[in-house]
A and B are shown apart, each in its own frame.
Chain A
Amino acid sequence: MSDTMVEHAIAIQTSGISRVFKKLRAVNSVNLTIQQGELFSLLGPNGAGKTTTIKMLCCLLKPSSGTATIMGHDIQKDPLAVKQIIDVSPQETALSENLNAWENLNLTGRSHGLEKSVVRQRSQELLEMMGLMDRSKERVKRFSGGMKRRLSIAMALVSDPQVLFLDEPTLGLDPQSRAAMWEHINQIKGSKTVMLTTHYLEEADSLADRIAIMDEGRIVVLGTSQELKDGISEQSVLRVEAEGLTNDVVERLREIYPEVTVVDGGVEIRAEKLDLYEILDFLRPRGIVVRSTQLKQASLDDVFLHHTGRELRE
């Protein structure tokens, strides 16, 4: 009995799930265990394999090897049972352009087997939450990009699924809508299992219970935001704002500290041990005026950079 209890507490479990396109290993043997009610964020640069992972979990793409279960249902053996309990907001907004917002919500709601009256009730709530009520009777092809995105997410929420996949839900939203979306995601956190991909580090940082950083099809690192930051915190980051920095000086500096990145108005130096005086003594004789120095706390950006060797830009 305790066995089944444990089993039921797991919402998503993947074992060695992989997908190959021609020669490209888009997803390479990913193992994840996500608890019920957990908000799990997949973070990674373009082409990391986030969307491919989600598509396999939603039974849209066949894994090349490995498999996964959603609430105990195997995605390959019992896709219909999986589809009963999931819903997804795809990366591209997926709407029926010639229909209005109500009709679009009706389409996904009814297709998930909800009663008409239930769909109407939930649609009303969602349209209000997304600030779309006053445009709700208009054909959605006239919507702006952000409005389409909001409706597309609402369409995934109508069926009130146990497991929700959100592929870059806040892409292209203005700050206000994004804040509203975060608020809503925070509300459903705990009661629903959510897998969310995003390029906004602060989004993952503030919303997710756990974060997995994905790169080239693999999970590079996984943990809570704090754990990830602690994991690289033996590295210090010193930000030096200075005038007169030349490429030549930066190159010389790299001979002492290999990880030097040029930032706006200065440089950032990463190392396990930083000697501030050594750096100042190095810069001063070269005619460089140091305006300020600042020792920085590791951010998720740093974690990302550390593990993928790339900066994450939107």
Chain B
Amino acid sequence: MRFLELAKRNLKESFLDPLSLGLTIALPIGLFFILQTLGRIEDLFKPTMLAPGIVLFGFVMIVFSSGFLLARDRESSLLARMLTAPLRPSDFIAAYALPFIPIGIIQVAAIYGIGSFLGLRISGNVGLVMLILFVMCCGYIGIGMILGSLVSTRQLGFTYMIVLFPTIFSGAWMPVDMMGEGFNRVVHCLPFAHALDATRAIMIDGAGFSDIATNFLWVLGYSVAFLALGVLSFKRRMLE
């Protein structure tokens, strides 16, 4: 359990940093408030439709802050120092991934909590919604680890747009159908649209697991792949 000290440090370092805190927690909540005011004009902005999209946007911010933490530790040689401690590769993976799960949980709790006061309803299984969001969150953490291992802090600012744009254009709050059939097909090659489709189907139509099983497999497959790639790129950084 030696990784715990580094995990605790990583959590503190991220949460004590006003930038990370603002980006991961305050920004999604603020965006949720602003966009849901459009709910009277457009159904897509009603809290029930909007909540999963905002949560995914929050996860993109996790990519940013987890990637930033790792990239900065690489550059400041704090990671090098920690790598001379008797910790195993798995300890490092855990220490740089696990602290962001509570952050994801706080985001989901905040958005769904606030949403419930604004008229958010879940007709299907809440647990199933949470499961999909959890798996998706792990995928985003994997992406954060990939970026943090490969790019510098300076590059991270625009590199993470690679994640932000597909998330938004997967229908986080942009109507995918309006963009045409071809576009729709493209975003459905990525997991984000499937996560949104599935959670909305459960929340609005009360869909069960069998209805969203295909979507779930897309999300799960991608998340496992992102995590595996994250671990690989991190490990390559451990002994250069």
Contacts and interface: CB of A to CB of B under 8 A. Distances in A.
B154 interface: no
Interface string A97-113: 11100010011101111
B77 A99 contact: no
Interface stretch (A53-61, A270-278, A279-287): A53-61
Nearest to B6: A111
A199 interface: no
Contacts of A84: 86
A86 interface: yes
Contact of B80 (A83, A94, A96, A111): A94
B240 A60 contact: yes
Contacts of A96: 9, 13, 78
B12 to A, nearest CB: 6
Nearest to B83: A60
A237 interface: no
Interface residues of B, number: 23
Nearest to B3: A111
A99 B6 CA distance: 12
Contact of B9 (A86, A107, A155): A107
B16 A83 contact: no
Contacts, number: 78
Interface centre among B17, B78, B240 (most CB of A within 10 A): B78
Interface centre among A103, A106, A111 (most CB of B within 10 A): A111
B85 interface: yes
A160 to B, nearest CB: 14
A61 B238 CA distance: 8
B126 interface: no
Contacts of A110: 2, 4-5
A312 B6 CA distance: 39
A106 B5 contact: yes
Given A61-B240, A62-B240, A107-B9, A90 B85 contact: no
A107 B9 CA distance: 7
Interface in A124-155: 139, 155
A92 interface: yes
Given A83-B85, A87-B84, A111-B87, A61 B239 contact: yes
Given A92-B77, A94-B76, A106-B5, A111 B12 contact: no
A95 interface: yes
A292 B82 CA distance: 55
B151 to A, nearest CB: 20
B81 interface: yes
Interface of B: 2, 4-6, 9, 12-13, 16-17, 76-78, 80-88, 239-240
29 contacts: A59-B84, A60-B239, A60-B240, A61-B240, A79-B239, A83-B86, A86-B84, A90-B77, A90-B81, A91-B77, A94-B81, A95-B76, A96-B13, A96-B78, A97-B13, A97-B76, A98-B12, A98-B17, A99-B9, A103-B12, A107-B6, A107-B9, A107-B82, A108-B85, A110-B4, A111-B5, A111-B82, A112-B86, A113-B86
Given A98-B17, A110-B5, 4 more contacts: A107-B82, A111-B5, A111-B86, A112-B85
